[in-house]
Amino acid sequence: MAGIKVLTVFGTRPEAIKMAPVILELNKYPGIFNSQVCITSQHREMLDQVLDLFGIKPDYDLDVMKPDQDLWTLTSSVLLKMREVIEKSSPDVILVHGDTTTTMCASLSAFYAKIPTAHVEAGLRTFNKYYPFPEEINRIIADSISSFHFVPTQSALENLIKSGINRKNVYLTGNTVVDALLYTVNNYKYDINADKNLKTILLTSHRRENLGKPLENICTAVRILVEKNPGIEVIYPVHLNPNVRSTVYSMLSGIDRVKLCEPMDYAPFAALMKQSHIILTDSGGIQEEAPSLGKPVLLLRDETERPEAVESGTVGLVGTNIDKITGSVQELLHDSEKYARMASAVNPYGDGKAAERIVKVLRDEFSEKQGV
């Protein structure tokens, strides 16, 4: 097949959500792009849900998922299998996203093969190499290797310029997660099984740095909140990581108005976000999505590589301190002016057209070379 050969590589559910709009946009131009998709299946079950939602059928599946595998095993497996995929697909450019181990390995594999890499959601930084771990170093490696940097915000752009990246290779696009969210809520309608007489607090927490005592603190804060506030319920889709599940189920099972459930498909999860009153999370993606739905977010982390939402006022940084979590939630529950300020803050992450901008750059950069 003629055209610009684009190989998109991802492995986790968040990556799939954020890359889906780009893949769908590439597929609008079959005479210009020869789009192929490689998944590593770093998150097997959760990844398949998103692929089904967006109708994406991978051309390559590395299937690297193993129970409790460490970073050494995962990294070596992805690197070796990526070599085979690159040899078979011979891409003109490899698209990666964000900061996962898959992203780092795919970028490094592209470098070894002397193939240009385009990094979606480039430029995020905490400037602490161990927080988040290993994501901060993964994103630095991907940025260092990439030829094209698609940044979600002005601060991400500035991070790259300060690190020595050539400005002409940096493109301010907005974040594709906004594209995915708006596509989903506009095309799929779900009725979430939540008590309409109660204010729903959506909770997600699964990051590596929050395992152990931090997650125990979060669970303790949840117990305190439902005891103090009979008008709320907490819904927690619990991550499949056994280290998360063992803590959460031991501390929150059987607690009145705390609903623990399995990880949700993206469409019903988007509907749950839309229905929620407050969102408690340590997720990067939710920080970017919730502002488009007018939902205040309390971030269960001490640092964030997405400071724009904090600066705009739609996200509050609360960490994993029990008193700070409970105090911040109490304030939002009982201070209507504070709630309104957070809920009405403008989303700094884009307008839902990031994928269009990314694909236009690829078309402009490669079309002349490929004669399309």
34: β partners: 5
pLDDT, residue 288, reads: 86
| Residue of 15, 25, 99, 308 with catalytic role | 99
* Cβ proximity of 38 and 8 under 8 Å: yes
Give residue limits of the domains in the chain: 4-175+351-370, 194-343
Does 15 qualify as catalytic in the annotation? no
Q: Between 213-228 and 242-252, two packed helices, what is the crossing angle to 10 degrees?
A: 30
d(CA 64, CA 11): 9
The class of domain 4-175+351-370 in CATH terms is alpha beta
Sign of the dihedral defined by the CA atoms of residues 49, 51, 52, 57, in that order: negative
Backbone angles phi, psi at 100, to 5 degrees: -80, 170
In whole angstroms, give the CA distance from residue 27 to residue 287.
28
Q: What are the pLDDT digits (tens) for 188-240?
A: 877 766 677 899 999 999 888 899 999 999 999 999 999 999 999 999 999 98
Nearest to 309 by CA among 285, 328, 329: 285
pLDDT of 371: 53
Q: Which helix (H) or strand (E) holds 41?
A: none
Query: Can 308 be counted among the known catalytic residues?
Result: no
pLDDT of residue 67: 82
Instruction: Provide φ and ψ at 325, rounded to 5°.
Output: -65, -55
Q: Which of 43, 97, 207, 239 is catalytic?
A: 239
On whether the CB atoms of residues 8 and 25 are closer than 8 A, the answer is: no
Reference 123, options 77, 162, 87; nearest CA is: 162
Q: Do domains 4-175+351-370 and 194-343 have the same CATH topology?
A: yes
Q: Are 237 and 204 a contacting pair, CB within 8 Å?
A: yes
Catalytic residue, candidates 15, 25, 92, 135: 135
202 torsion bin: left (phi>0), alpha (psi -120 to 50), beta (else)? beta
335 is catalytic: no
Cα(first)–Cα(last) distance of the chain, in Å?
12
State residue 337's pLDDT score: 96
Distance CA 7, CA 230 (A): 51
pTM across the whole model: 0.81
Per-residue model confidence (pLDDT) at position 370: 58
Q: In the annotation, is 158 catalytic? A: no
For the chain, which ranges sit under pLDDT 70? 1-2, 43, 192-194, 368-372
Active-site pick, 25, 121, 136, 143:
121
**pLDDT reported for residue 193:** 64
Answer positive or negative: Cα dihedral of 314, 18, 210, 143: negative
336 and 156 in contact (C-beta within 8 Å)?
A: no
H or E element that contains 172: strand 170-172
Q: Among 48, 61, 208, 356, which one carries the catalytic annotation?
A: 208
- 307, 291, 297: which is closest to 347 by C-alpha? 291
For residue 346, the model assigns a pLDDT of 82
149 tagged catalytic:
no
CB atoms within 10 A of CB 263: 17
> Residue 99 catalytic?
yes
At the top level of CATH, the class of 194-343 is alpha beta
SS3 percent helix, strand, coil of the chain, rounded to 5, is: 50, 15, 35
